[in-house]
Amino acid sequence: MSSEISRYTITAALPYANGPVHIGHLAGCYLPSDIYARYLRKNGKDLIFVCGTDEHGAAINMKAQSEGAEPREIVDRYHAIIRDSLDKIGISFDVFSRTSKEIHHKTAQDFFTKLYEKGSLEEKVTQQYFDPEAEQFIADRFIVGECPNCHFGEAYGDQCENCGTSLSPTDLISPKSRLSGAEPILKETKHWFLPLDHLSGKIKDYIQSHKNWKPNVYGQCMSWLDSGDGLQARSMTRDLDWGIPVPLDDAEGKVLYVWFDAPIGYISATKELLGDAWEDYWTKDDTKLVHFIGKDNIVFHCIIFPAMLMEHGGFHLADEVPANEFLNLEGRKISTSRNWAVWLHEYLEDFEGKEDVLRYVLTATAPESKDNDFTWSDFQTRNNSELVAILGNFVNRVQVLMQKYYEGEIPKAGAFTSEDKEALASMAATPASIAESLESYRFREALSRMMGLARLGNKYLADQEPWKKIKEDPERAGTTLYVAAQICAQLAQVMEPFMPFSANKLRTDLQIEALAWEDCNSQELLKAGHRIQSGGHLFSKIEDETIEAQKAKLEAAAAAKAEPQYEALKEEIQFEDFTKLDIRVGTILSAQKVKKADKLLHLEVDLGFEKRSIVSGIAQYFNPEDLSGTKVSVVVNLAPRKLRGVMSQGMILMAEDSEGNLKFTSAPADMPNGAVIR
């Protein structure tokens, strides 16, 4: 990048179109990228803000398979949900495209062809996993197994979502296919590889030229480059039936690897937006390219995509990659598979008109340098104690006092006191202070500095007490409200990147237009005589009942999709041990509670060849009068013993669910009593 920046290209990670976006996605890359883009626009910068849905790869196939739908149905549905929810929360993309569009297919295929013709790709016949039951090669995401790093049992073939380690399917311990559950076998197949091992020198030089990157980004990149055997060649094609066909004659049934085609989506979206002018934003050295992503995408945006661009030639590489860490939820990792998430489209339905509240809270708690936690209680506290009690309270008090004493007209200022001068000077310095933070991608700090202005206004108004001075010293009261009105006007400008809806409402109330950032450093943003209107409260209190309802909703949704928890396996036995058990079909004839024993029932069971007395600890789960005629499975050769004075001559077999509920394990109704269960 040259010292003079003529334009900016801002990208936000393409969301997979296999489900809605949640607050973790929003905090990770969409909010910070939007704040940055809005700030640059307010500075009059030439920029494009690019995104779109990633609609290829195994994740789409998996979702389609689980719903019994076609991949096209899945991507059409979720593209619309994602597009609409991001738009409603105020993410101001210049283009939000799709990787299923023809322009993207052509761009990605042309890119691949260029690399192929330059000899930048290596053709290899390798062994890939094949599902013998489904009779097809299976993509990395269709394989699960034990992570060799953290030993998480459900790691994917390309990445462990528990520890974040990138993997290859052959790294997994005890892999199995998600298609059929079968153990996959290795089978030969041909693919085209990007030789990252041969490019590692160039990639390392590129990474080391950006030591100013966030420590988590630079550190992860260097770890990839320096650990073990370093970078290895990576296949850029896959055996799949959904995706962009590999544009070679001998590549039937093969598609481009999703992490080859997805980042090219930024380029194709720019073509869609600008036509032939797209090249200025991707090839010129005076362009600043910034990728906003989550930490799980660092390797793809900092190593693989730059390597692709280097080999193609003619492209400008990323100047900044301000990746965030992960956002957790109520102390637990967000999990889409377990439905432990706050979905953005549902938030927008449940909290209509509170878009900026979520933007504020997620920015204030953004996981910029380490994983952070979102809780509904903190959400409520920040809304009620900060947005309502500080920012909203200050603005409302100024508007009310202006209407009460001056019919909404800005009074003429008298002589300024030292407190007035200090307040106006701090106000005028705030835009530069916020800008310093934003240009260093410290969004939490920038938001805090914006809120510092609201705190300053609140304290200034409380200290000066114009409602008391209006009678004894009206000029002093007028000067105080003049200064307070300037602070309100400043807030209406500098709030814009963070809370655009509230900033627009406040500007409407103050009857002012949006200003360029450089024009916000004035000490007079509202002239004496300018008339404002009273527009009501910017923010409203969120009650305990609302928060409790969200907590209950979260727990209920997770419980509905909870994966069963299985008891650990017992010590291995030999076949001969099992054959010692004599299990027979029986029918309960009668049941009654055992005296002085809350958990025990005394059962009389017909085994065909005889009737037996059996004591079972099931009184908490069944009414005795309901059990007569119930088929059961009985271990009949268990040594008899007395329980609470009642002889028990066997054991009834029960099944227990994850919540501890018991049910009888029984043979079909037509199976005679005494029949052997083997």
Per-domain boundaries in the chain: 7-110+258-333, 119-239, 373-521, 575-677
Please tell me which residue, 228 or 15, carries the higher pLDDT value.
Answer: 15
Q: Read off the pLDDT band of 129 (50, 70, 90).
A: confident
Residue 163 annotated in ligand binding: yes
Long-range contacts, stretch 517-521, CB < 8 angstroms, 24+ apart: 517/39, 517/42, 517/43, 517/431, 517/435, 517/493, 518/43, 520/431, 520/490, 520/493, 520/494, 521/428, 521/429, 521/431, 521/432
pLDDT of residue 149: 84
Mean pLDDT of 460-468: 96
How far apart are the C-alpha atoms of 400 and 387, rounded to whole Å?
A: 18
What are the Cα distances from residue 35, in Å, to 93, 96, 354, 447?
11, 17, 17, 10
- Helices 355-364 and 31-42: angle between axes, nearest 10 degrees: 100
Mean pLDDT of 421-427: 97
**Which residues does 137 contact at the CB level (< 8 Å), separation at least 6?**
128, 129, 130, 131, 187, 189, 239
Task: Evaluate the CA torsion angle 573, 579, 580, 586 in order and state its sign.
Answer: positive
**CATH topology assigned to domain 575-677:** OB fold (Dihydrolipoamide Acetyltransferase, E2P) (2.40.50)
- pLDDT at 221 > cutoff 90: yes
Kindly give the pairing relationship between strand 237-239 and strand 234-235: unpaired
pLDDT of residue 93: 98
pLDDT of residue 572: 75
pLDDT of residue 251: 93
Contact criterion met (CB below 8 Å) for 551 and 332? no
Mean pLDDT of 573-590: 88
pLDDT tens, position by position, 260-317: 999 999 999 999 999 999 999 999 999 999 999 999 999 999 999 999 999 999 999 9
- pLDDT at 432 > cutoff 80: yes
Q: Read off the pLDDT band of 660 (50, 70, 90).
A: low
- pLDDT at 565 > cutoff 70: no
How far apart are the C-alpha atoms of 187 and 156, rounded to whole Å?
A: 19
How far apart are the C-alpha atoms of 246 and 254, rounded to whole Å?
A: 6
pLDDT > 90 in the chain, percent: 76
Q: Read off the pLDDT band of 3 (50, 70, 90).
A: confident
Reference 7, options 40, 46, 50; nearest CA is 46
pLDDT of residue 563: 53
- Ranges of beta strands (E only) in 567-622 are 583-593, 601-606, 611-616
∠ CA 310-316-317, nearest 5°, is 70
Residue 147 annotated in ligand binding: yes
pLDDT tens, position by position, 317-375: 999 999 999 999 999 999 888 899 999 999 999 999 999 999 999 999 999 999 999 99
Same fold, 7-110+258-333 and 373-521: no
Q: Read off the pLDDT band of 441 (50, 70, 90).
A: very high
pLDDT of residue 235: 93
Backbone angles phi, psi at 326, to 5 degrees: -95, 150
User: Could you count the other beta carbons within 10 Å of the beta carbon of residue 655?
Assistant: 10
Residue 520 annotated in ligand binding: no
- pLDDT at 51 > cutoff 90: yes
- pLDDT at 528 > cutoff 80: yes
Continuous H helices in 89-139: 102-117
**Which residues does 215 contact at the CB level (< 8 Å), separation at least 6?**
369
- Ranges of beta strands (E only) in 138-194 are 143-146, 155-156, 173-177, 185-194
For the domain bounded by 119-239, which CATH number is listed?
2.170.220.10
Lowest mean pLDDT among 452-466, 486-500, 644-658: 644-658
**pTM for this structure?**
0.81
CATH of 7-110+258-333, one of 3.40.50.2000, 3.40.109.10, 3.40.50.620, 3.40.800.20: 3.40.50.620
pLDDT of residue 245: 97
Q: Which position has the token pair 């480059």?
A: 225
Mean pLDDT of 497-520: 97
Residue 51 annotated in ligand binding: no
Architecture of domain 373-521: Orthogonal Bundle (1.10)
pLDDT of residue 345: 97
CA atoms within 13 A on the CB side of 636: 20
pLDDT of residue 580: 87
Mean pLDDT of 583-590: 93
- pLDDT at 168 > cutoff 90: no
- Helices 305-312 and 196-208: angle between axes, nearest 10 degrees: 100
Residue 521 buriedness (CB in 10 A; 0-12 / 13-18 / 19+)? middle
pLDDT tens, position by position, 240-260: 889 999 999 999 989 999 999
Mean pLDDT of 228-247: 91
Mean pLDDT of 236-243: 91
Mean pLDDT of 488-493: 98
Q: Which position has the token pair 């609302």?
A: 546
What DSSP element (H or E) covers 62? helix 58-67
Q: Read off the pLDDT band of 447 (50, 70, 90).
A: very high
Q: Read off the pLDDT band of 562 (50, 70, 90).
A: low
- pLDDT at 658 > cutoff 70: no
- pLDDT at 65 > cutoff 90: no
Residue 508 annotated in ligand binding: no
DSSP 3-state of 2: coil
- pLDDT at 531 > cutoff 60: yes
Q: Read off the pLDDT band of 659 (50, 70, 90).
A: low
Continuous H helices in 375-523: 376-382, 393-406, 418-438, 443-464, 466-472, 474-494, 500-510
User: Could you count the other beta carbons within 10 Å of the beta carbon of residue 540?
Assistant: 15
pLDDT tens, position by position, 383-406: 999 999 999 999 999 999 999 999
